[in-house]
């Protein structure tokens, strides 16, 4: 949840800094991205061409497409971890749903909308089943999803017979490989900016009506200018290559919807409450079991999107798709400031975490660094991120 | 119900004071799940004034408040649904004197409005000062039932201790 809270001036300076880091964690994370990009940009600088290979529009587009699938899983995973649980089965569920997508599309020749509807329904159903086992039956989520990880992977092997199913239809491929035409990208960007500006001013008017503190007009406008610049830079860069990739668009829509769910809905508020203190939330008259089950419904939905995107991107259903995906998703959440102890975390943070992971992968591959070094680096970064979380939030509890 | 163990069962520590208070009635501010933040904040501010909760900002984390102010927020959370029966389990446990007084005043005010209040307490003066009827319970048994008329600490204690002797005999 993002709230702007004025820091009491009487608090000691050290706590001020801690709170500042906690408040503006997202800014710190963006700084980390800038540092990583600058680092790889410098290392991949090509004198003869005068450009950095890492900092091209093409690579930016690649990087975003690489993180889109992990990002989808991480978006669902944030709520699971915020509620104080864990889900180890998402990589396998992604594989299963991706496999089913391929079976429906290639073997059974279903039309695209039928495939999408069926896979989404199955994903939500699988998620709700896991959620039911955790919330109502009372089996720890670690165990349920460890079992799910094995069972779903087994199911995908059974369904596909262990072979790669190809080729999928062109319309399905578009979901994973397609690009939006530049004009549509521009229109969407402008619409988004107008919408954000409208919401900002409406919130401001509402706060003034209730005599609540508001930030001054220049700051408000400065914020909007920065947001506008980011959106414009994003779309212009991607359009200068081939346009906004479809999976990235899907991910951005998920980001928007999930942020609204987390910050502005009854359900979202309850997710954070459950993660912060389950018993107190129950005693406040909240059906905590239902909240948990629904969180897994969302997680299943995200697995469906990620599974379809994976199959569409590879243009084939492979039994090993999504292997280890749960670990990338969980790592993204932790790097993005989600607290292991529950109650804290944001979707945007998790996605920034996913971008950091993807940047490291992409940059190190480009430099020709061995895979084993890539894994070691990612492991160290994950541990360091959680350590930072403990250091910055430890004093407050 | 206001639980005895505030840290474990009362507050949602990472959440702002205001959101702790509205947790029990969130649906009121929502249309199709979407919370109207302005409506909610307006209610929170009104309640903070009504309950005299001392906080620099309605959206500060509740864990940063004093025990007494935390307790007032927890009590308020239970009052917002406008209950007919209220169970208070050691409502002044770990609460400073000023906040205690506020809570006592509130209990009287609620009783006048016709809310039935069951208060569980181990502090004798508190019981004698507030209750209309006192039930003494020890070792799972009812050991005394007094209307609070000319009732003394000695009588209540005698009921508690006397019963112990009866059980022992």
pLDDT in tens, A294-304: 999 999 999 99
From the list A266, A267, A343, the residue facing B14 with the nearest CB is A343
Residues B29, B39: contact at Cβ < 8 Å? yes
Contact B63 A397 (CB under 8 A): yes
Contact B37 A203 (CB under 8 A): yes
Q: Inform me whether the pLDDT recorded for A376 exceeds 50.
A: yes
Q: From the CA of B41, how many Å to the nearest CA of chain A?
A: 8
Q: What is the DSSP letter of A48?
A: T
Query: Is the separation of the CB atoms in B18 and B41 below 8 Å?
Result: yes
Cβ–Cβ < 8 Å for A245, A238: yes
Residue A1 in this model has a pLDDT that exceeds 60: no
Q: Tens of pLDDT along A10-45?
A: 444 455 555 555 567 777 888 888 899 888 888 888
Taking CB atoms and an 8 Å limit, are B9 and A267 in contact across chains?
A: no
Residues of B in contact with A258 (CB under 8 A): none
Task: Give me the total of CB pairs closer than 8 Å, taking one residue from chain A and one from chain B.
Answer: 89
The pLDDT-based confidence of A2 (bands split at 50, 70, 90) is very low
Q: Could you say which residues of chain B have pLDDT below 50?
A: 164-169
Q: What pLDDT sits at residue A227?
A: 87
3-state helix, strand, coil in chain B (%, to 5): 50, 20, 30
Please, are residues A120 and A97 in contact by the beta-carbon 8 Å criterion? no
**Closest-CA residue to A303 (of A141, A61, A99, A114):** A99
How high is the pLDDT of residue A384?
87
Question: Residue A204, by phi and psi: left (phi above 0), alpha (psi -120 to 50) or beta?
Answer: alpha
The model's confidence at residue A77, banded by pLDDT at 50, 70 and 90, is very high
Q: Cα angle vertex A360, ends A253, A258, to 5°? A: 20
Residue B63 near residue B95, CB atoms below 8 Å:
no
Residue of A nearest to B36 (CA): A264
Among the partner-chain residues B19, B23, B33, the one whose CB lies closest to the CB of A286 is: B23
pLDDT digits (tens, 9 = 90+) for A309-359: 999 999 888 888 888 889 999 999 998 888 888 888 899 999 999 999 999
Q: What is the ipTM of this complex?
A: 0.84
Residues on B contacting A at a C-beta cutoff of 8 Å: 1, 3, 8-16, 19, 23-24, 26-27, 30, 33-35, 37-38, 41-42, 45, 56-57, 59-61, 63-64, 77, 81
Name the most confidently modeled range: A66-75, A201-210, B17-26: A66-75
- Quickly state the pLDDT bin for A4 (edges 50, 70, 90): very low
Q: How many CB atoms within 10 Å of residue A318? A: 21
The residue that leads in pLDDT, A142 or A199, is A142
CA pair distance A282, A289, nearest whole angstrom: 9
Q: Note the pLDDT of residue A292.
A: 94
Interface contact A210-B9, CB threshold 8 A = no
When scoring B3, B8, B14, B47 by the number of chain A Cβ atoms within 10 A, the one with the most, hence best to mutate, is B14
Per-residue pLDDT, B54: 85
Residue of B1, B15, B16 to mutate, testing the A interface (most A Cβ within 10 Å of its Cβ): B15
Kindly tell me if the per-residue pLDDT of A104 is higher than 60: yes
Nearest CA in chain B to A6: B57
Cβ distance of B60 and A5 shorter than 8 Å: yes
Query: What is the pLDDT, as a whole number, of residue B49?
Result: 86
Mean pLDDT of chain A: 86
pTM: 0.86
């Amino acid at each position: 949840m993002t709230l702007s809270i004025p820091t009491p001036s009487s608090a000691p300076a050290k706590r001020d800094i801690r709170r500042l880091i906690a408040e503006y964690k997202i800014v710190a994370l963006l700084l980390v991205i800038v540092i990583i990009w600058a680092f790889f940009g410098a290392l991949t600088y090509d004198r003869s061409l005068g450009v950095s290979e890492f900092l091209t529009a093409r690579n930016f587009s690649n990087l975003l497409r690489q993180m889109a699938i992990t990002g989808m899983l991480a978006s669902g995973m944030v709520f699971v971890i915020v509620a104080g649980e864990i889900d180890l089965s998402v990589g396998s569920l992604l594989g299963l749903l991706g496999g089913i997508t391929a079976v429906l599309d290639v073997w059974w020749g279903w039309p695209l909308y039928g495939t999408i509807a069926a896979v989404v329904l199955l994903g939500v159903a699988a998620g709700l089943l896991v959620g039911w086992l955790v919330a109502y039956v009372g089996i720890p989520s670690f165990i349920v999803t460890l079992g799910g990880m094995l069972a779903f992977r087994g199911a995908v092997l059974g369904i596909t017979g262990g072979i790669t199913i190809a080729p999928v239809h062109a319309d399905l491929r578009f979901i994973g490989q397609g690009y939006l035409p530049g004009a549509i990208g521009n229109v969407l960007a402008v619409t988004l900016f107008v919408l954000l500006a409208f919401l900002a001013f409406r919130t401001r008017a509402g706060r003034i009506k209730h005599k609540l503190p508001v930030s001054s007009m220049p700051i408000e406008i400065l914020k909007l200018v920065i947001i506008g610049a980011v959106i414009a830079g994003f779309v212009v860069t991607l359009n200068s290559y081939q346009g906004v990739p479809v999976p990235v668009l899907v991910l951005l829509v998920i980001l928007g919807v999930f942020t609204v769910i987390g910050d502005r809905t009854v359900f979202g508020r309850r997710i954070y409450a459950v993660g912060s203190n389950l018993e107190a939330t129950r005693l406040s008259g909240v059906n905590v079991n239902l909240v948990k089950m629904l969180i897994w419904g969302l997680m299943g939905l995200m697995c469906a999107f990620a599974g379809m995107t994976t199959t569409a991107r590879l243009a084939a259903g492979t039994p090993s798709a999504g292997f280890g995906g749960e670990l990338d998703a969980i790592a993204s959440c932790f790097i993005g400031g989600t607290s292991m102890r529950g109650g804290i975390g944001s979707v945007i943070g998790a996605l920034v975490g996913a971008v950091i992971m993807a940047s490291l992968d992409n940059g190190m591959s480009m430099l020709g660094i061995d895979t084993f070094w890539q894994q070691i680096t990612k492991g160290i970064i994950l541990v360091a991120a959680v350590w930072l979380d403990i250091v910055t939030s430890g004093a407050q509890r | 119900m206001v639980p005895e163990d505030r840290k474990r069962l009362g507050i949602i520590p990472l959440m702002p004071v205001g959101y702790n208070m509205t947790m029990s009635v969130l649906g009121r501010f929502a249309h199709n799940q979407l919370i109207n933040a302005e409506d909610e904040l307006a209610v929170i501010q009104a309640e903070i004034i009504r309950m005299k909760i001392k906080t620099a900002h309605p959206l500060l984390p509740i864990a940063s408040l004093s025990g007494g102010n935390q307790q007032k927020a927890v009590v308020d959370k239970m009052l917002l649904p406008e209950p007919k029966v209220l169970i208070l389990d050691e409502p002044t446990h770990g609460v400073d004197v000023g906040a205690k007084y506020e809570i006592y005043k509130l209990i009287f005010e609620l009783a006048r409005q016709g809310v039935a209040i069951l208060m569980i307490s181990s502090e004798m003066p508190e019981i004698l000062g507030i209750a209309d009827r006192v039930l003494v319970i020890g070792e799972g048994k009812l050991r005394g039932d007094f209307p609070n008329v000319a009732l003394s600490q000695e009588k209540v204690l005698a009921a508690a201790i006397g019963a112990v002797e009866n059980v022992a005999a």
